[in-house]
């Protein structure tokens, strides 16, 4: 068995030829730039969730023909012998009574994602663009994904917008119905962690995924999962999600949820981010009831009990990405990558002595404090990231 790092939620901004795919994502996010940046970050398995777009499928097929990508036995595509690309598609569910939650399908092969693209395209206006609304409910969408040999994962499941618990339902089984048992995993999102999610009983048998949902290159790997598998391919990842044959998720690395943009309730009138005991439903400062409920507040509202981790739940390790640490800019990150080989090694493995040689005493100390959870963090809310506060 080996341990691999996987970030399974990354968006494409445009194709190599400039065709727009994800309007809200950076134009620098192309298939190849994502794979190259993942190499620098130290990510072994990459899930790109816009692969059902026909121009993207065409581009990936061409890369395979040119030898830039190669098909892997067990599913997935290999880049430079080091990074595995898992083909995914994020869709917006338009057939529920409330909300428009996002659901991700992951697929084993180019043939499977092509089949999914043709089938799901009948239920949306523009298959070329990312995260498009489909005229299906959750149960029907899972059926389409399964018919193409895919697996379904609810995306950023607690965020106030475009998520299941945040805007659609208080229980997943109510919307997935008989298909709920086929949901192997849920993606937590940046504003939640395992302690928070393990307060909901129906999630006690589900694997938790911590992914970046990257809309720009520097956000890749801000959250990731450590899988214990035999090979870096689709079938092995699926076995890890099912906890089969010793395969498993052994660690989740994610932001301290306080850093997430929707961690606490936000007042839409005065801009106050709640600090009071959750759940906060009315602004404590101005009294307005026009608030955007935070993830922590929402979970407190719908939870079944205080945190109870099942025996198989891996540790959730808080990660403060280098970009969040004050005084560490782009050039400093480049120095660290050049010296250590990847951002993740610099952030989690490099010794204080080695860090000090590269970035100086002050920055080395702050990286160690970030690693050990010793930095003070103020909570985010209402679309505003939390902040690291240096004393």
> How many angstroms separate the CA atoms of 309 and 288, rounded?
36
- DSSP structure class, residue 259: G
Helices 54-66 + 110-120 axis angle, to 10: 160
Say what the pLDDT of residue 68 is: 98
Asked which of 235, 257, 279 is the last residue of a domain, the reply is: 257
Is 154 among the domain residues?
yes
Burial annotation 291-315 (CB, 10 A radius, 16+ → b, else e): bbbbbbbbbbeebeeeeeeeeebbe
239 and 112 share a domain?
A: yes
Is 313 among the domain residues?
no
Is 35 among the domain residues?
yes
351 and 206 share a domain?
A: no
Which tokens belong to 169? 């339902």
Chain segment 6-23, per-residue pLDDT in tens: 999 999 999 999 999 998
160 and 23 share a domain?
A: yes
> How many angstroms separate the CA atoms of 237 and 47, rounded?
11
150 and 251 share a domain?
A: yes
Which tokens belong to 157? 């499941």
Which tokens belong to 378? 């103020």
> How many angstroms separate the CA atoms of 51 and 148, rounded?
14
Say what the pLDDT of residue 148 is: 98
Is 129 among the domain residues?
yes
Average pLDDT of span 104-115: 98
Is 206 among the domain residues?
yes
Say what the pLDDT of residue 78 is: 99
Say what the pLDDT of residue 165 is: 98
pLDDT at 323 over 90: no
Q: How many domains does the chain have?
A: 2
114 and 245 share a domain?
A: yes
Three-state DSSP state, 45: strand
Is 288 among the domain residues?
no
- The domain that holds 350 is classified in CATH as 1.10.150
**Percentage of the chain modeled with pLDDT above 70:** 100
pLDDT at 313 over 80: yes
Chain segment 350-376, per-residue pLDDT in tens: 999 999 999 999 999 999 999 988 999
336 and 226 share a domain?
A: no
pLDDT at 324 over 90: no
Average pLDDT of span 122-151: 96
Asked which of 257, 285, 309 is the last residue of a domain, the reply is: 257
pLDDT at 308 over 90: yes
- The domain that holds 225 is classified in CATH as 3.20.20.140
pLDDT at 382 over 90: yes
344 and 236 share a domain?
A: no
Residue with tokens 């969040």: 324
Average pLDDT of span 374-384: 94
Chain segment 235-289, per-residue pLDDT in tens: 999 999 999 999 999 999 999 999 999 999 999 999 999 999 999 999 999 999 9
162 and 30 share a domain?
A: yes
Answer yes or no: are the C-beta atoms of 366 and 375 closer than 8 Å: yes
Is 293 among the domain residues?
no
Q: pTM value?
A: 0.95
Least reliable range by pLDDT among 104-108, 278-282, 339-343: 339-343
Is 161 among the domain residues?
yes
Asked which of 207, 241, 257 is the last residue of a domain, the reply is: 257
pLDDT category, 391, cuts 50, 70, 90? low
Say what the pLDDT of residue 23 is: 87
Answer yes or no: are the C-beta atoms of 90 and 116 closer than 8 Å: no
Say what the pLDDT of residue 209 is: 99
Higher local confidence (pLDDT), 136 or 344: 136
74 and 217 share a domain?
A: yes
Average pLDDT of span 26-38: 96
Which tokens belong to 237? 């990842």
pLDDT at 326 over 90: no
Chain segment 192-226, per-residue pLDDT in tens: 999 999 999 999 999 999 999 999 999 999 999 99
Average pLDDT of span 57-75: 98
Chain segment 160-188, per-residue pLDDT in tens: 989 999 999 999 999 999 999 999 999 99
Which tokens belong to 194? 């395992």
Average pLDDT of span 75-92: 98
pLDDT at 390 over 80: no
> How many angstroms separate the CA atoms of 190 and 213, rounded?
9
72 and 144 share a domain?
A: yes
Say what the pLDDT of residue 312 is: 98
**Domain that includes residue 17, residue range:** 2-257
> How many angstroms separate the CA atoms of 305 and 239, rounded?
29
The set of residues, in sequence order, having a beta carbon less than 8 Å from that of 139 and lying 6+ positions away, is 175, 176, 177, 178, 179
Distances 199 to 192, 286, 304 between C-alpha atoms, Å: 12, 31, 6
Which tokens belong to 161? 């917008």
105 and 24 share a domain?
A: yes
79 and 201 share a domain?
A: yes
């Amino acid at each position: 068995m080996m341990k691999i790092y996987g970030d399974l939620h990354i968006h494409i901004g445009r194709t190599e030829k400039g065709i727009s795919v994800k309007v809200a994502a950076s134009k620098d996010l192309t298939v190849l730039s994502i794979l190259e940046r993942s190499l620098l970050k130290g990510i072994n398995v990459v899930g790109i969730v816009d692969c059902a777009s026909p121009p993207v499928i065409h581009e990936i097929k061409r890369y395979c023909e040119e030898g830039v990508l190669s098909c892997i036995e067990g599913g997935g595509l290999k880049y430079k012998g080091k990074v595995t690309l898992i083909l995914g598609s994020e869709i917006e569910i338009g057939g529920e009574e409330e909300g428009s939650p996002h659901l991700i399908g992951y697929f084993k092969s180019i043939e499977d994602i092509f089949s999914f693209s043709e089938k799901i395209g009948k239920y949306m206006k523009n298959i070329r663009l990312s995260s498009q609304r489909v005229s299906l409910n959750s149960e029907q969408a899972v059926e389409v994904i399964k018919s193409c040999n895919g697996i379904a994962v609810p995306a950023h499941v607690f965020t106030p917008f475009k998520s299941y618990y945040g805007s659609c339902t208080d229980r997943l089984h109510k919307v997935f119905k008989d298909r709920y048992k086929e949901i192997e995993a849920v993606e937590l999102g940046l504003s939640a962690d395992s302690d928070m999610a393990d307060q909901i009983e129906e999630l006690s048998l589900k694997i938790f995924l911590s992914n970046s949902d990257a809309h720009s290159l520097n956000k890749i790997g801000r959250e990731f999962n450590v899988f214990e598998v035999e090979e870096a391919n689709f079938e092995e990842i699926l076995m890890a999600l099912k906890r089969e044959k010793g395969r498993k998720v052994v660690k989740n690395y994610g932001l301290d949820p306080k850093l997430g943009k929707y961690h606490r309730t936000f007042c839409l009138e005065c801009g106050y981010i709640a600090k009071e005991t959750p759940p906060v439903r009315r602004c404590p400062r101005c009294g307005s009831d026009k608030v955007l409920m935070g993830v922590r507040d929402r979970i407190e509202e719908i939870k079944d009990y205080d945190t109870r981790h099942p025996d198989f739940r891996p540790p959730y390790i808080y990660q403060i990405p280098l970009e969040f640490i004050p005084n560490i800019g782009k050039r400093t990150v480049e120095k660290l990558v050049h010296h250590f080989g990847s951002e993740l090694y610099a952030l989690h493995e490099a010794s204080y002595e080695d860090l000090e040689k590269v970035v100086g005493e002050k920055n080395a100390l702050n990286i160690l404090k970030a690693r050990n959870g010793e930095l003070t963090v103020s909570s985010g809310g209402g679309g505003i990231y939390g902040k690291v506060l240096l004393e």
